[in-house]
Structure 1
């Protein structure tokens, strides 16, 4: 039987041009976040299985890859009541749970207010489809230890600055507060926490099944009138800062905080959206997402999760995070090829002496930042086009009689 040579299902190899684009995006984001005062950390790719399944990850816990314990025996298999009984570790499904554990472990070594950057792969046993992978990179910034709105302001400023630096324009920030969502549910008679959680899971499907679908599901699970609920949801979909002010269901204090946040962020297109849920159950206050009119999906999101770190530390620590959708951003950004005009290619014939070729490359390295050697092919057009995509700016042809690059003509690739 033939052995497959493709990457595991839901995971990808990255060819040089794609890898170069990914590294360019990462470099831009890292540079912006560093300028905004965030420090990068690194955590293990695995965490204790019990921690990953402690109720902090919501539905993502169901998608966690488990790592089987070493030294398992057939008797262990017989005695196990559930698959997780055989696992002691698991691959991280996000970066927030590891951050909470990291902060609890190292709090004494960290500043009172800690601004963290994490950019790393995570794993989820998703059903693979376009734009959804089992291994993907998350790009998170978090502020821990700051209870006031300064944390949200810093996060939104840094995130919008990163998007601007990547050349992604026209974005807006949808914003809401979990307290406003809970007040809305209370106006529908939903006050019991478990019922509220079920209702929010349903409302979070609004962009997929529409107002009627959400209303019907709420009617089935929570005995709400589908017609009246659908009318309310349609009105909420078109709501804005002005139309909801003074509404009898609104949590006035939470809304006032959002308005203060809006006033503190001039130049940022901050849009109030009372239907924004964010699926993770650990959010406690402000929640937000990056929207763009040309895309039917968000480019990032996050919120305040003041209760999570206390699960590890035994003492609550205020925390807010914002995650950019790195895999989606990569598809929207092109390498600035012409900006790397100092990256050159030396195209050589097969009869060029390798010692002489190495000397020519060394000469080019003395004058340029990046040098590539490429053997002449029959289809030079495709070769040069691919090199241009990788950011090389010019090329020169060298032969057996080329003693030096002095006087050799370099031609632009693009």
Structure 2
């Protein structure tokens, strides 16, 4: 959990403003949910490993004896917890407010979440997520809107070279079925396959054999992984998708993925037949959240080895709170991971001025000068002159100020000579 100095905070807000503006342009409306949710909701079995990283809140009113008595039962100790993502709160929000929302609801949530992580670069215990979700649309149009809006936001941030990797959990399940993995082995097999980009095909196969997964199924997977062909499947199209999957995966799944590619291509003005898109079909993209039911996606960038965001379809989650299934799909930008890659210019709409004044200048005069500059559209800071004027101006430059003027007693607005800070 970190502090941010003014310059860092200003930079983060500029990036967030771009993301918000682009998402709003695509028809998404921003909501806000509480930082805490009920313990049972956060630990309902849909959050994968993130549930283990949740910060739980001790029940009020427990004395020492009650705490000791419930030491082995976290559900008795805690009734609330800090949210570890924004999807679980959104599902609860929609279930609570469905009657006040449109039939197809497009939401934006940009807010901090908390996980008891082991801190490292790009991974913190408190971090901001930027989520867009569409609830109430079961068609591929929803995935298309999310991907198009996310790519638009990345373009607006100047994050060139980003690619959206796409897969479908139904295709993964079909592959494991065709290879011969029993249903009870598949969750563990997927965890191992998710390491493919880190340990390679040999590492995946070795780990599965070490876990004593079904030998014939591991043999089939190994044969598939070591086929003499590339895993680069651009442009995104039917031929490439079929080439990447084993024979026998349902045509419906392939058509769903192809339709997404064609629609995103149309949204970006690309040739839908052969025009290169920043999309890549990855047949071994897994994503670990337990609530995904269909299409899944991640943002990849050549400058880093980790993903910059991701999401997918989670049609079964809202039904847990509402009592009836509602289709839903979401895409999250990992703000902490992209903010350091983005180089946005300082806001230039208004000049930022430091008024360096002598000790004897009356407060009324200073405030009148400040008000006059603000009325002209400037941002203004008052600073009393120090012996180290150079250091004062360097700090002002670091804080985003662009000009300064010195002020003596009796000075009027026309007397101020604004000099650039460099």
2:421 counterpart of 1:413: yes
Aligned to 1:257: 256
2:189 counterpart of 1:181: no
Aligned to 2:272: none
Q: How far off is 1:227 after superposition?
A: 7.3
User: Whole-Å Cα distance in 2 between the matches of residues 234 and 124 of structure 1?
Assistant: 37
Q: Is the CA contact 1:337–1:393 (under 8 Å) kept in the aligned structure 2?
A: no
Q: Is the CA contact 1:350–1:375 (under 8 Å) kept in the aligned structure 2?
A: yes
TM-score (norm 1): 0.91
| 146-155 vs 404-413, which moves further | 404-413
Which residue of 153, 156, 176 maps to 2:144?
153
Unaligned runs of 5+ in 2: 269-276
Q: How far off is 1:404 after superposition?
A: 1.2
Count of aligned pairs: 402
Q: Secondary structure at the match of 2:4?
A: coil
Aligned to 2:378: 369
Q: Is the CA contact 1:348–1:397 (under 8 Å) kept in the aligned structure 2?
A: yes
Query: Which aligned pairs between 1:41-60 and structure 2 lie closer than 5 A?
Result: 41-60=31-50
Q: How far off is 1:54 after superposition?
A: 0.8
| 228-237 vs 308-317, which moves further | 228-237
Q: How far off is 1:243 after superposition?
A: 4.6
Aligned to 1:232: 224
User: Whole-Å Cα distance in 1 between the matches of residues 294 and 171 of structure 2?
Assistant: 9
Aligned to 1:91: 82
Which residue of 365, 382, 399 maps to 1:356?
365
2:10 counterpart of 1:20: yes
Could you report, residue by residue, the CA deviation over 1:374-409 in whole angstroms, capped at 9, with x for unpaired residues?
Answer: 2334444444344334332222222235x1131432
Could you report, residue by residue, the CA deviation over 1:89-140 in whole angstroms, capped at 9, with x for unpaired residues?
Answer: 1111001011111111111111100001111111101111122111111110
User: Whole-Å Cα distance in 2 between the matches of residues 387 and 337 of structure 1?
Assistant: 14
Aligned to 2:397: 388
User: Whole-Å Cα distance in 1 between the matches of residues 74 and 253 of structure 2?
Assistant: 42
2:295 counterpart of 1:286: yes
Change (3 A) 1:341 1:134: same
Q: How far off is 1:335 after superposition?
A: 4.7
2:118 counterpart of 1:127: yes
Provide the aligned C-alpha RMSD in A. Answer: 2.1
Change (3 A) 1:98 1:213: same
Change (3 A) 1:388 1:75: same
Query: Which aligned pairs between 1:254-333 and structure 2 lie closer than 5 A?
Result: 254-266=253-265, 267=268, 268-333=277-342
Q: Secondary structure at the match of 1:142?
A: strand
Q: Is the CA contact 1:60–1:124 (under 8 Å) kept in the aligned structure 2?
A: yes
Unaligned runs of 5+ in 1: 1-10
